Amino acid sequence: MSDARDRVLIAQPLTAAAFAPFGQVIDTAQVAPRPMNAGMAQRYHDLAAIDVTGDGAQVVVGLVAAQPYRLPLRLSLVERHPLGAQAFVPLNAAPFLVIVCPDEAGGPGTPQAFVTAPHQGVCYARNVWHGVLTPYGAAQDFVVIDRAGPGLNLEEHLFDEPWTVRLPASS
C-alpha cells in the first residue's frame, strides 16, 4: 500500500510540449488566423486532428454541459477511446482540469494533471488514458468532437487507491 502523500498530483499549466505525448492542445494563440467573410471573421484553421478508425466510423460534433467538480479532486477513474481521438473545446474562458496517464503494459501509469489557460481546449489522442471532463468553480459548456460508429470505443480503469489532484498554490 503506498503512502497517501505519493498519490497527490499538483496540476501544472497546460502547454503543447508537456501535453504532446497525450494529444494536442487546442489554442488559437498557436495558429495565425485567416480572414474570411470579407474580413468580418477570423478562422483559426486546423487546430487539432480527430483520428478515428473502424468500418463505419465518423467524426461527430456535440455539446456537453458539465457540472463543476469540488477541489481537491479525488481521482479514481480514467478512461480511453481506442477507436477515436476526442476533443473538448470550452465555450468560455474558465479553466478546467486535464488529467492524462501514460500507457504502461496496457493500463494507465502515473497520472499527470494540467490546468488550462483561458480558452484552451484539448484533443486526447486515440487510445490515451485520461480523466473525465473536469470543470471546477462553475458549470461549463464544451464543444466535443469525437468518434461515432460501431465498435467498442470506451475502456475504463478504476485505480486501487484514488489520487488527489490539487491546483497549484497560485491558482
pLDDT in tens, 54-79: 999 999 999 999 999 999 999 999 99
CATH class of the 4-166 domain in this structure: mainly beta
CA 87 – CA 52 distance, rounded (Å): 12
Omega before 72 within 30 of 0, i.e. cis: yes
**Mean of per-residue pLDDT scores for the chain:** 93
Beta bridge partners of 22: none
pLDDT of residue 133: 96
pLDDT at residue 171 in the model: 58
For the chain, which residues make up each domain, given as ranges? 4-166
Q: State the average pLDDT over residues 11-35.
A: 94
* pLDDT score, position 1: 39
Q: Show the DSSP H helices in the chain as ranges.
A: 16-19
Buried residues in 92-127 as b, exposed as e (16+ CB within 10 A): eebbbbbbbbeeeeeebeebbbbbbeebbbbbbbbb
| pLDDT at site 4 | 54
Structure confidence at residue 80 (pLDDT)? 98
The rounded Cα 58 to chain-centroid distance in angstroms is 20
Q: What is the mean pLDDT of residues 89-104?
A: 97
pTM of the model: 0.90
- How many whole angstroms separate alpha carbon 77 and alpha carbon 70? 15
